[in-house]
Amino acid sequence: MKKHCVRILTAFFGLAALAITAKGQAVDQVVVNIPYAFVVAGKTLPAGTYRVSRASANDERALAISSFENHAAVLVLSSEVADQTSAEQPSVSFQHVGEQHLLSKIQTAEHVFTIPVSESGK
C-alpha cells in the first residue's frame, strides 16, 4: 500500500513539474475574448475566446489564432515583430473599415506583432 502511494505521489509531482516547464516555454501566447466577429488574413472569425500563439518555433512572424469553442482557426504572418518595451497588458487591436473589425496588432508579454490589413477588409 505504501509503495502504491509513493508511486502515485511521484507521478503527480512529475506531471506537475512537466506542466510548469511547459507553461514556462509558452512564448508569445495570449488568450483574448473578442466580443464581435473580426477579419484576419482574409477570413472572418466569429466572436469568442481565442488563443494566439506562435505557429512555429523557427519563425517568429508566423502566428496561429484558434478558438476551441468556435472550431475556428487561421494562420497569419505578421509584417513586423517588435520587442515589447512597455508594461502594457497583452492585447489585440483592430482597424475599423465599414462594419468590419480588422485585426491589426497583437501584443503579447514578449513582442508586438503588426498584422497586414487590407483597406478593403478582405
pTM of the model: 0.72
Contacts of 65 (CB under 8 A, 6+ apart): 40, 45, 50, 51, 52, 73, 74, 75, 76, 103
Cα pseudo-dihedral 14, 18, 19, 22, rounded to 10: 180
pLDDT for res 8: 52
pLDDT in tens, 22-77: 444 567 899 999 999 999 999 999 999 999 999 988 888 999 999 989 899 999 99
Confidence of residue 93 (pLDDT cuts 50, 70, 90): very high
Nine-digit cell string for 100: 468590419
Q: How confident is the model at residue 118 (pLDDT cuts 50, 70, 90)?
A: confident
pLDDT at residue 86 in the model: 77
State the Cα–Cα distance between residues 24 and 46, nearest whole angstrom.
30
> Domain ranges in the chain?
28-114
